[in-house]
């Protein structure tokens, strides 16, 4: 019976045993850098998608509000009261039609009779202006006297809306502005 002592076998087992501490540190370091890059790219992408969604939603709401204002103001008979944040018109049926901006609530409302509807939400700034129809020599319009709003033929409206994205207030829409002519 031959008994042999195998001295090579433990040395081979040691070499096949796995990673050394230095190899593990390098692998964890490289893996951490790759995961950090993927994570920051994911956050940036998420913010971009949310910003584009907010922009699209605010643009849709602004377009709807501007279309409503334009359609209804063009059909009114005359302007009966004015402030930079409030317009009161005499509508075709001789009832008042009111557009009012509440800076505290950040919204523009439309009131006709007993019906009130919010046209714009999350609106940071809104201002109305009025003029006569005839332009002056420097490409602006003549102002309306504060006692006679019946001569108003041009309504100027401007607003800016924004929302919060991940806790930060971001303007996700540019200023909307329009000049609307009263046709009657």
Nearest to 145 by CA among 73, 77, 96, 82: 82
Rounded CA gap, 51 and 53, in Å? 5
Rounded CA gap, 164 and 171, in Å? 8
What residues in the chain have per-residue pLDDT under 70? 1-17, 134-136, 170-174
Does this model's pTM top 0.75? My answer is no
Which one-letter DSSP state was computed for residue 94? Answer: S
Cα–Cα distance list, 89 to 18, 80, 110 (Å): 84, 5, 11
How many other C-beta atoms are found inside a 10 Å radius of the C-beta of residue 142? 14
| pLDDT averaged over every residue in the chain | 85
Tell the burial category of 22 from Cβ atoms under 10 Å away from its Cβ (0-12, 13-18, 19+).
exposed
Ramachandran angles phi, psi of 114, nearest 5°: -100, 0
**Two tokens at 72?**
């209804």
* Contact yes or no for 73/180 (Cβ under 8 A): yes
pLDDT, residue 109, reads 96
pLDDT in tens, 70-123: 999 999 999 999 999 999 999 989 999 999 999 999 999 999 989 999 999 888
């Amino acid at each position: 019976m031959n008994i042999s002592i195998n001295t090579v076998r433990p040395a081979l087992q040691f070499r096949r045993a796995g990673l050394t501490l230095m190899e593990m540190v390098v692998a964890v370091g490289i893996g951490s850098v790759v995961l950090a890059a993927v994570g920051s790219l994911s956050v940036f992408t998420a913010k971009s998608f949310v910003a584009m969604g907010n922009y699209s939603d605010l643009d849709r709401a602004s377009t709807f509000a501007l279309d409503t204002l334009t359609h209804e103001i063009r059909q009114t008979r005359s302007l009966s009261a004015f402030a930079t944040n409030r317009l009161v018109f005499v509508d075709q049926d001789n009832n008042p039609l009111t557009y009012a901006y509440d800076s505290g609530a950040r919204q523009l409302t439309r009131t006709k009779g007993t019906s009130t509807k919010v046209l714009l939400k999350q609106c940071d700034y809104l201002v109305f202006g009025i003029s006569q129809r005839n332009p002056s020599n420097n490409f602006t319009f003549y102002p309306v006297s504060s006692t006679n709003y019946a001569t108003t033929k041009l309504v100027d409206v401007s607003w800016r809306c924004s929302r919060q994205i991940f806790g930060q207030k971001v303007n996700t829409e540019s200023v909307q502005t329009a000049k609307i002519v009263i046709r009657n």
